Amino acid sequence: MRLSTSQPLILLIAASSNGSTLPFNCAPDNDTMTTPSFGTTDAVFTACSQITINSSPSAVYEALLDFPRYPDWNTFVYSVELPSNVSSAKDVYIGMPMTFHSSGLLPGINSTSDERITFLEPDVVPPFAAWRYDEGALVGLLMNAEHVTVLEDLGDGTTNCVSWETYYGAGALLTLTLKANLQTEFQNEVSDLKGRVEALAT
């Protein structure tokens, strides 16, 4: 999630990964965590949140990707700009560009961040989805970031939801000053997601 005014660059994105190689828990001591696109090379820091949701991974996955409904429940990302042909979770596709509008990172200032879907894996074990920071080639030389959400079926009707974003490159050193705020807002976001999914189940 970044302050942004630039336009996204069309990228070719790989769409295969194995969810079992991704973490099922936030790293101890706030250590950096791998992402499917970038691994851990040049990682500067990770902001991670985790929560147990009283519903199935498929229900959580559906709510997570239903970007048009984010204004209904997400207090951090309060709006998402999407392509005109995307009106529900089923319309989301690999390489899809989107712009997040968020609040809470800086007092009294709303921010925008151009993102692009990198992974949609509802049928692997565990299911996961990911999107990456997409500010164009010049910015990408200085910083990359990828946001990953893994949904582990706990076998008792609940889901372990682990959601993190890892930041890479020299440019991430500036973003490091926002780590505490990012951590807080990511935790708020998974709490909001829990509330949304559990409310839909009742």
Q: What total number of domains does the chain contain?
A: 1
Amino acid (1-letter code) at residue 133: Y
| 59 in any annotated domain | yes
The token pair that represents 102 in the structure block: 């968020």
pLDDT for residue 42: 94
| 50 in any annotated domain | yes
pLDDT for residue 139: 59
| 122 in any annotated domain | yes
pLDDT tier at 135, thresholds 50, 70, 90 = confident
DSSP class of residue 41? Answer: T
- Helix-strand-coil percent breakdown of the chain, rounded to 5? 30, 35, 35
Q: 17-26, 148-157, 172-181 — which one is most confidently predicted on average?
A: 148-157
| 9 in any annotated domain | no
The token pair that represents 104 in the structure block: 């809470």
**HSE on the CB side for 81, CA within 13 Å?**
11
Identify the domain containing residue 187 by its residue range: 32-65+116-201
| 105 in any annotated domain | no
Q: 196 pLDDT exceeds 90? A: yes
Query: Domain of 162: which CATH number?
Result: 3.30.530.20
- Each residue of 89-132: pLDDT tens digit? 999 999 999 999 999 888 888 999 999 999 999 999 999 999 99
* Cβ burial, residue 144 (10 Å; 0-12/13-18/19+): buried
Phi, psi of 53 (to 5 degrees): -115, 130
Amino acid (1-letter code) at residue 201: A
| 82 in any annotated domain | no
Could you give the CA distance from residue 119 to residue 15 in angstroms, rounded to a whole number?
Answer: 5
pLDDT for residue 3: 40
| 17 in any annotated domain | no
Could you give the CA distance from residue 128 to residue 163 in angstroms, rounded to a whole number?
Answer: 10
Find where tokens 């500067």 sit.
Answer: 44
Helix (H) or strand (E) holding 185: helix 179-201
| 80 in any annotated domain | no
pLDDT for residue 30: 84
pLDDT for residue 133: 92
Find where tokens 């851990």 sit.
Answer: 40
Q: Which residue has the higher pLDDT, 169 or 137?
A: 169
Could you give the CA distance from residue 112 to residue 52 in angstroms, rounded to a whole number?
Answer: 28
Q: 20 pLDDT exceeds 80? A: no
- Each residue of 28-87: pLDDT tens digit? 988 999 999 999 999 999 999 999 999 999 999 999 999 999 999 999 999 999 999 999
Using a cut of 0.75, tell me whether the model's pTM lies above it. yes
174 in helix, strand or coil? helix
